[in-house]
Amino acid sequence: MTIAKQRVAIVTGASRNIGRSISQALALGGCAVVCLGRDSAALNETAALINLAGGQASVFIGDAASNANLKSAVAHAVKTFGGLDVVVNNAGMLRNDPAEEITPEEFAADLQVNLVAQYALAHYAHPELKKRGGGVIINIGSIAGQMAFPNCPSYVASKAGIEGLTRSLAQDWARDNIRVVCVAPGYVESEISREVLANTTTAEMIKKRIPMRRVAKPDEIGAFVAFFASNAAGFCTGEVYYIDGGQRMAF
């Protein structure tokens, strides 16, 4: 009898909100999860929730903006759990300033976190995924990749870039049995949206633009990502999958 190997995942930005929900959903689906982020206390809480539910989690303290940290995280996953099967590029940031106030250096720094880091982790993970006979890379994008939001040019540019990166990597690595998809949420209850949604008037205006008249909950994004990480989505690659309550449809 052949015993199936345990699947292993890395999730960046796993300390809270969407990243925590993704980590928990992957663990529920049978993955051992390496939770990467900068906030050790919050990451330990994510890991504790996974372990309490009967899963396996390991914490890796690191900055997703550091290519060296991402390379070390892959090595940590292999050393701790024996390999790597799933990569979720979730870490990101939003600089909410007018374009004329954002310096080229700040713009480049934002793209390092939101876009270059996604490529870097995929690049370092590729040989390990290939050793396992394949795997899946899930890049977290945004409807901002298709819709121009005001006062966040670096965020919009990075999310559009993620969509192109996803298609390119999927094309290049399909023969390695590595699937690459982009999950692109709309508004979600998270750190990034908290300040905007805290304004009652703004929150109501946003919800009126969404046919379902609400924003997503982090666990809805987690479940969606876990599906694409599973064998049930085995023929899905190179596409962007939106989860936005119909917001794009309404424009």
Residues annotated catalytic, as ranges = 155
Closest by CA to 159, choosing from 143, 136, 177, 179, is 143
Q: How far apart are CA 1 and CA 8, in angstroms?
A: 22
Burial of 92 (0-12, 13-18, 19+ CB in 10 A): buried
36, 47 in Cβ contact below 8 A? no
For the chain, report the end-to-end CA distance as a whole number of angstroms: 54
User: What are φ and ψ of residue 165, in 5° steps?
Assistant: -60, -40
User: What are φ and ψ of residue 222, in 5° steps?
Assistant: -60, -45
